[in-house]
Every structure is written in structure tokens, then in C-alpha cells.
Amino acid sequence: MKVAVYPGSFDPITNGHIDILSRATVLFDKVIISVLENPEKTPLLDLEKRLELIRTATKDMPKVEVDCFSGLTVNYALQKKACTIIRGLRVISDFEKELQMAHINRKMTPEIDTIFLMCNLKYAFLSSSMVKEISFLGGDINCLVPECVKTHLNKLRETR
Ligand code: ADP
């Protein structure tokens, strides 16, 4: 059974994340999308809401499991018996940070590899922060996020 972990903030999950996830499920028997509880970041959505939105958005993806973790990603991957960490790459600036992270992770845990999937060209400009900004400014995020995310962000905008 080949298991991969797809870690991130997912604040909120976007169609770019879903695209990476669906391509990862072709390569692995199980993909665990896992929200990192990162004390360094102040998310817009709390952990429970992010998990709920991911669960709804991935309900028709049987190979996907939804989870959360804190601490080192490699330790979490070992605990989940995963052999691989999945990350998405959009632009060159992603690459530099990700390369450093992948090398550090390999140094700590050589038995776990990192695989990078190039994002779909149509999502190359897409990030969670961009989605939040567009939504709060009243823009259309229809083709950028799953339906449940759009509904939730619209609700937040109306109550702001
Ligand atoms: P993090 O804080 O770990 O970067 P994100 O939720 O922003 O968390 O991203 C999680 C992963 O998804 C990262 O590997 C990131 O590069 C990737 N990703 C983010 N947006 C996209 C996108 N539009 N297309 C493909 N991959 C993406």
C-alpha cells in the first residue's frame, strides 16, 4: 500500500489543491491531505472549518483521507506509514523554499521522499490568500474554489 501525505495550510482549500490531490491519487493508493497547525501563522479559518471544507470538497475522492497534525511533517509521515510527501509547485519562487524544505526533510528522514507536482497552468496564479482577497473585495471566485468554500467565504464577507 503506497501512502502519501499532502501537507499544507489549506486556508482555505482551492481548486489548485484539488488538482494536485486528484493527480496524486493516480500515483498512490492513499493520499492523506493534512492541515498543519502552524503556530507561526494566523489563519483566517480555524482548524475545524478548514477540515470541514476539505472533507466536503473531497467527499467523492475515495483514496483521499483528511487529517491534521502539528510538529515535523516527516515525523507525521512516519507515523502514518507514508513513503512520500507531496507538494505542489506553481512558480520559481515556490521552488526555492520547497527545495530547501525537501533537503532538510531528507536529511532528517532519508526513507521519506518529497514529490513535486507541477500545478495545472490554469491555477498557476492561484493561492489561498489571493482567493480570500478577491472574495472580500467582492470579486468572483467561482472557478477558483470548491462550491462549499465559495459559500463560506461569501457568508464571512456578508458578516464583516
Ligand atoms: P503552505 O503554507 O504549506 O504553503 P498551502 O495551503 O498554501 O500551504 O499550500 C499547500 C501545498 O499546495 C503547497 O505545496 C503549495 O505549493 C501547493 N499549492 C498551493 N496552491 C496551489 C495551486 N494553485 N496549484 C498547485 N499547488 C498549489
pLDDT tens-digit readout, 112-128: 999 999 999 999 999 99
The amino acid that residue 134 corresponds to is: I
- Reply yes or no on whether 128 is catalytic: yes
Residue 142 has which C-alpha cell?
467561482
Q: What is the mean pLDDT of residues 61-90?
A: 97
Residue 15 has pLDDT above 90, yes or no: yes
Q: Which of 143, 82, 79, 80 is nearest to 115 (CA)?
A: 82
**Ligand 1 centroid distance, CA of 107 (Å):** 23
Residue 20 CB less than 6 A away from ligand 1: yes
Provide the angle, in degrees to the nearest 10, between the axes of the packed helices 47-57 and 147-159. Answer: 140
Report the pLDDT averaged over residues 55-82: 98
> Does the Cβ of 28 fall within 6 Å of ligand 1?
no
pLDDT for 91 = 86
Q: Residue 160 contacts by C-beta under 8 Å, 6 or more apart in sequence?
A: 136
Cell for 125? Answer: 496564479
Annotated catalytic residue 41? yes
What is the model's pTM? 0.96
Q: Which of 36-40, 98-102, 152-156 has the lowest mean pLDDT?
A: 36-40
